[in-house]
Amino acid sequence: MDSRRAPGLDLIRAAAIALVVLHHARALPGCPDAFRWIALRSAVGVDAFFVLSGWLIGGQLFRELAATGRVDVLRFWVRRWMRTLPAYYACLVPVLAYQQPGQKVGFEAAFFAQNYAAPFLWLITWSLCIEEHFYLLLPIAALLVARLRLNATVVGLLFAAALLSSPMMRWAGFQAMHAGTYRGFLGAFYGRTHLRLDGLCLGVACAALKQWRPASWDTLERRGVLLAAAGTVVFAVAAFCPGLTGWTSADAERMRFFNAVPGMTFASLGVALALPLAAAPSGRADSLLKDAAAWVADHAYALYLTHDLAIALARLGTQHLGAGFWLSAPSAALFAIAFAIVLRAAVELPGLAWRESVLGVRARP
């Protein structure tokens, strides 16, 4: 295993993609109610991804800013696009080719506008749209902070405003959303970028604290175990406490106030509290758990892009063979792993090697 990587971050990323896949696996026929109850609430895996993105991308930009006093915005965009676009477009082509009868061809998806303009074209990609919007805007914001020479107080207030903006807007829009349908919740509320900035902001804030207040970050690292334990509790309660998230496995539970408004923020906060421990370098990286987490983390993007196809194929097989959930579920897992291996080997890794040759960066996300 690469000694330079932080196994704790791999573990968070692996857990996040496992939760996302679990969430969508509730669509398998014959899904037991207890499994569906857990799977429905596993959507919080996306919030973990947002915090990780804020931490990693913010850290990259802040290190460049500290070292050079500037941000090469164009190079950053090219670097991120060469990382994410090849695999995305490789999967988008068949998605557009095999649309349902009567469905419009979604050119919005070519520009990551589908979470606003066509949310049901390729539903799972709403979170990738948010990531791409984040990649587009954060370096510009960092450049403006550097050019305007804003002091720490002003920057902190801007962070706080950005962090609070999404839960406040979700709160403002809650009544109208709650009076509507679940489809309306998915299409016009849940996946909109301006309503999902809190996790990204928490990750960026942690990265800023590490870069610009290293003494404070060192204090947090020394208390990392305690903070990670507290974060795990906060995350678990925000995701799975029945008194907050609901007692049934009905999709409409996601539209209740806690899940739709503060729950996402608390889940993100739980992940952020774990970062001081998770991001710390580890002297031992030879355990089976760390190796497994690293493998899943490396394949997380490919799993994200292909797991819905794997679940769809497992559903078809179940219907054709008359098999039950406990056969379709492992079949979906095997399909997802196989598709992820192929996509990473055939598209992701060549794309990263190309990026390395063009930009001179290490072939690592």
Question: How confident is the model at residue 49, as a pLDDT?
Answer: 98
Q: Which of 3-7, 43-47, 266-270, 301-305 is predicted least confidently?
A: 3-7
Residue 335 has pLDDT above 70, yes or no: yes
| Higher per-residue pLDDT: 271 or 323 | 271
pLDDT of the residue at 47: 98
% of residues, the chain, pLDDT over 90: 73
Alpha helices in 179-213 (DSSP H): 182-185, 198-212
- The neighbour count for residue 265, using CB atoms within 10 Å, is 20
Higher pLDDT, 103 or 80: 80
Q: What pLDDT was estimated at residue 308?
A: 93
Q: Which residue has the higher pLDDT, 217 or 102?
A: 217
Give the residue with greater pLDDT, 107 vs 87. 87
pLDDT of residue 97: 74
Chain centre distance of CA 167:
17
Yes or no: say if 86 and 353 are a contact pair by the CB < 8 Å rule: no
Name the least confident of 21-30, 140-149, 278-287, 305-314: 278-287
The DSSP 8-state label assigned to residue 108 in this structure reads G
In the chain, domain spans: 32-288
Query: What pLDDT does 132 receive?
Result: 97
| pLDDT for position 1 | 42
Region 93-116 average pLDDT:
78
* pLDDT above 50 for 39: yes
Place of tokens 């959303």: 177
Considering the entire predicted model, what is its pTM? Answer: 0.94
pLDDT digits over 258-267, tens only? Answer: 999 999 999 9
Q: Which of 103-107, 122-126, 151-155, 328-332 has the lowest mean pLDDT?
A: 103-107
Q: What is the pLDDT of residue 14?
A: 97
Position 290 scores a pLDDT of 86
Whole-angstrom Cα distance, residue 230 to residue 307? 31
Which pLDDT score is estimated for 103?
Answer: 56
Mean pLDDT (the chain) is: 91
Confidence grade of residue 365 (pLDDT, cut at 50, 70, 90): very low
Query: 224-248: string of b/e by CB count within 10 Å (b at 16+)?
Result: beebbeebeebbebbbeeeebbbee
Model pLDDT, residue 121? 87
